[in-house]
Amino acid sequence: MITVTIEASKTYDILIGRGLLDACGEKLGAVLPKVQKVMLVGDDTTMGLYGDRAQASLTAAGYTVSRFVFPHGEENKNLATFAGLLEAMASAGLTRTDCAVALGGGVVGDLTGFAAASFLRGIAVVQIPTTVLAAVDSSVGGKTAVALTAGKNLAGAFHQPSLVLCDPDTFATLPPEIFADGCAEVIKYGFISDRPLLTKLAATDAEKLQAGDGIEEILADCVRDKGIFVKADERDTGVRQLLNLGHTLGHGIEAASRFTISHGSAVAIGMHLVTAGAVRRNLCPPETLTLLDELLTRYRLPKDCPYDAETLYRAALSDKKRAGSKITLVLPTETGRSDLFPTPMEDAKIFIENCM
């Protein structure tokens, strides 16, 4: 088992190890000794696959466990599901010293984290990520949210977990395309700040990692990287924005496709585009783009954008990260390093044309 400690407004551990799911009750007890009741939250897929094992471990550790299950899918990360979860917490009689456990991908984690931040003005949450994306990104760092009609993640809170418990054996049941989606975020960390991670990724591939070969070390590298940015800028007003490499254009691509292009695929295309733009502007050497494209292919991710610059510009403009008349672009400047470039909107439009 590997332990990575995150130091933010709250210090907590990320435990990464095969088979950890069956020890979740014991591990929860070690960090939250006052808990008596647990609300176990999952979507129908994750609860169906792993709910009984998690519940058995929690029950064996002496907890009274209630379950909240909702249909899988991004469209259910909404206010109605959020309200249903809060009502379920109240019906189960959870108190301020009890906790919620999120068993699933980023949808489950974001929803459960936000409900935990809100119920009784804040109870503890333990994240048990079951997708690669959730393991390396959404379960760590305390961002929680649900969608409003006006857009994704528009209502939420910063609420750090008390523990993140990652059992990579759960990835065995992921459809290969969802595993690949998470790999886009793994590759992202390498190009933001972690050249050694890129070397490791070039020496393996998606099949080997999904089979569990070397996955723990790679996950640990990613959350260690994320932890540095979370510690430096928990509220996401500065360097944490580097974690958005490929995301501004990626969100535009997702929106333009009406979400038929997955998040990971859109981020992969977004990273390719901004790296190509950075190369064209002589901000970054061409070898960086060559390596990125090789890794995207190796991890079954796309790089070609199906939209023109005008469509992308319009879609990316509605990105919530836009501040006033400037947008902060995250651009690679060498292999294993990216920087923030606050850019006026007019220049951002020209930059997007340069990316194509």
The residues of the shown chain that bind ligand GLY, judged by CB under 6 A, are 137, 141, 143, 236, 240, 243
Cβ closer to ligand NAD: 241 or 288?
241
Indicate the residue among 218 and 330 with the shorter CB distance to ligand GLY.
Answer: 330
CB of 117 to ligand GLY, least distance (A): 15
Q: Exposure string (b/e) for 322-340, b if CB count within 10 Å is 16 or more?
A: eeeeebbbbbbeebbebbe
Residue whose C-beta lies closest to ligand NAD:
106
Interface with ligand NAD, residue 319, by CB under 6 A: no
Site for ligand NAD in 260-289 (CB under 6 A): 263
- Of 141, 227, 246, 302, the residue at the interface with ligand NAD (CB under 6 A) is 141
Least separation in angstroms between residue 155's CB and ligand NAD is: 12
176-193 vs 286-298: helix axis angle to the nearest 10?
Answer: 160
**CA quadruple 137, 139, 142, 145: dihedral sign:** positive
Which partner in ligand NAD, ligand GLY, none is near 12 (CB below 5 to 8 A by kind)? none
**Chosen from ligand GLY, ligand NAD, none, partner binding at 236 (C-beta under 5 to 8 Å by type):** ligand GLY
Q: Which stretch binds ligand NAD (CB under 6 A): 42-50, 204-212, 217-225, 325-333?
A: 42-50
Per CB under 6 A, the list member of 38, 134, 136, 276 interacting with ligand NAD is: 134
CB-nearer residue toward ligand NAD: 220 or 283:
220
Interface with ligand NAD, residue 57, by CB under 6 A: no
* Residue 78 DSSP label: B
Complex with ligand GLY: residue 239 or 317, whichever CB lies closer = 239
Other C-beta atoms lying within 10 Å of the C-beta of residue 276: 21
**Cα–Cα distance list, 142 to 11, 158, 264 (Å):** 11, 5, 20
User: Is residue 335 part of the contact set for ligand NAD (CB under 6 A)?
Assistant: no
- Give the residue with the Cβ less far from ligand GLY, 94 or 242: 242
| DSSP H helical ranges for the chain | 24-31, 44-60, 79-91, 106-118, 132-133, 176-193, 195-202, 206-210, 215-232, 247-256, 263-280, 286-298, 309-317, 345-355
For residue 150 the two structure tokens come to 């006006």
Tokens 């379960």 sit at which residue? 139
How far does the chain reach from its first CA to its final CA, in angstroms? 44
Closest approach of Cβ 163 to ligand GLY, in Å? 18
* Locus of tokens 């924005």: 241
Q: Which one of ligand GLY, ligand NAD, none is in contact with 223 (Cβ closer than 5 to 8 A by kind)? A: none
Alpha carbon distance 120, 92 (integer Å)? 13
Q: Which two tokens stand for residue 318?
A: 């509605």
Q: Give me the residue label for tokens 């990104």.
A: 137
Q: Cα torsion at 195, 199, 205, 211 (round to 10°)?
A: -90
Stretch that binds ligand NAD, among 29-37, 133-141, 216-224, 345-353 (CB under 6 A): 133-141
CB 67 within 8 A of CB 47: yes
Q: How far is the CB of 74 from ligand NAD (least distance, A)?
A: 5
What does the binding site for ligand NAD look like in residue numbers (CB under 6 A)? 43, 45-46, 49, 72, 74, 77, 104-108, 110, 130-131, 133-134, 137-138, 141, 143, 152-153, 170-171, 173-174, 178, 181, 263
